[in-house]
C-alpha cells in the first residue's frame, strides 16, 4: 500500500490522494457547493485521472463546509444561456455523470446538509452513500419549470423505486436521512460528527481488499443489473475466472489455506 500524500486545489474542488484512497471535496461552501461549469471541468479532470490510476482503490466524495454536500446546480451558469437548448448543451458538453458511472473503483459519498438537484444526482452516481443525520434530499427542478438532466429521472427510481421518485420529482418533496436510509438511498446514517470518520473507515476497509476482486464485483453487479439473468451469470463467470487468475487473489487464497492448515495442526 502506498503511503504518499498529495493534495491539489482547483477552483471549485480539492483533490487529495493518500495511499490507495482518492478524496474529492466539492469546495464552494460559500454557495452551498452548488455545481457550476467550472466544477464540471474540474471534476472531469480529476475523475479522468482517477479512472486511469491503477493505484487508487477507492474514492471518497464529500462537500466542504457544514451546511451542504451540494445544493444543486448554479442557475446563473446553466439557465442564462441564450436559449434552453444552448443551456442544456453547456451542461452536457462534458459527461461528468457518465464519467462517474464508468469508474472501476468504488466511490463512497459522504452526505451532509443539503443534497439537492445535481447534488443528489451526483450522489446517485456513487456506489455507497453514508448520510449524516442532518442530510436533506430533494429534486426541486420542477418548481423551476425544468426537469433533472443529470440522470436523476433514471438513477433515482432505480435506487428507491418509482412511487417515491415520482413524489419527489412531481411535488418537490424532500426526505430526511432516516427516510433515505429506509428507502435505500443511504447505506448508513450517522451523527454529523461521525460522518467523515465512518466514511474513512469504510474506505480503508474497501481498500484493504484485493483490488481486482473489488473492481470485478462492482462490474458484475453494475453491468449485470441491465442484463437478463442468464447474461448476468455469464458475466459473473467470466469475471470470477479473471479474479481467480490474478496474482493478488492467488496470494490471498494461499495465505488463507496456510492459516487454516496451521489452525488444525
Residue-wise pLDDT tens digits, 211-245: 899 999 999 998 888 889 999 999 889 888 888 88
Q: How far is CA 213 from the centre of its chain?
A: 19
Please state, as a whole number, how many other Cβ atoms lie within 10 Å of the Cβ of residue 191: 10
Is residue 231 part of the annotated active site? The answer reads no
Q: Which of 9, 66, 93, 141 is catalytic?
A: 141
By residue count, the chain amounts to 265
Cα angle value 9/14/17 (rounded, 5°): 100
Is residue 121 part of the annotated active site? The answer reads yes
CA 38 – CA 143 distance, rounded (Å) = 25
DSSP 127: S
Q: Which of 121, 234, 236, 251 is catalytic?
A: 121
**Domains, the chain, ordered by start:** 5-207 (3.90.226.10), 211-263 (1.10.12)
Smallest Cα–Cα separation from 46: which of 117, 103, 112?
Answer: 103
pTM: 0.86
Residue-wise pLDDT tens digits, 133-176: 999 999 988 888 777 778 888 899 999 999 999 999 999 999 99
Amino acid at each position: 500500500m502506498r503511503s504518499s500524500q498529495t493534495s491539489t486545489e482547483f477552483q471549485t474542488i480539492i483533490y487529495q490522494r493518500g495511499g490507495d484512497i482518492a478524496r474529492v471535496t466539492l469546495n464552494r461552501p460559500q454557495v452551498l457547493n452548488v455545481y457550476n461549469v467550472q466544477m464540471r471541468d474540474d471534476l472531469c479532470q480529476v475523475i479522468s485521472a482517477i479512472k486511469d490510476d491503477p493505484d487508487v482503490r477507492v474514492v471518497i466524495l464529500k462537500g466542504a463546509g457544514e451546511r451542504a454536500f451540494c445544493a444543486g446546480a448554479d442557475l446563473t451558469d446553466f439557465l442564462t444561456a441564450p436559449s434552453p437548448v444552448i443551456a442544456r448543451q453547456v451542461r452536457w458538453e462534458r459527461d461528468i455523470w457518465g464519467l462517474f458511472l464508468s469508474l472501476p473503483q468504488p466511490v463512497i459519498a459522504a452526505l451532509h446538509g443539503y443534497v439537492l438537484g445535481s447534488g443528489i444526482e451526483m450522489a446517485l452516481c456513487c456506489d455507497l452513500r453514508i448520510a449524516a443525520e442532518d442530510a436533506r434530499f430533494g429534486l426541486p427542478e420542477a418548481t423551476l419549470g425544468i426537469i433533472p438532466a443529470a440522470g436523476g429521472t433514471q438513477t433515482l427510481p432505480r435506487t428507491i423505486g418509482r412511487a417515491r421518485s415520482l413524489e419527489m420529482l412531481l411535488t418537490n418533496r424532500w426526505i430526511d436521512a432516516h427516510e433515505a436510509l429506509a428507502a435505500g438511498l443511504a447505506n448508513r446514517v450517522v451523527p454529523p460528527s461521525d460522518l467523515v470518520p465512518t466514511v474513512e473507515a469504510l474506505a480503508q476497509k474497501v481498500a484493504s481488499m484485493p483490488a481486482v476482486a473489488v473492481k470485478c464485483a462492482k462490474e458484475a453487479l453494475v453491468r449485470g443489473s441491465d442484463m437478463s439473468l442468464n447474461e448476468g451469470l455469464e458475466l459473473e463467470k467470466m469475471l470470477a475466472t479473471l479474479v481467480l487468475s490474478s496474482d493478488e487473489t492467488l496470494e490471498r487464497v494461499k495465505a488463507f489455506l496456510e492459516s487454516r492448515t496451521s489452525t488444525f495442526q
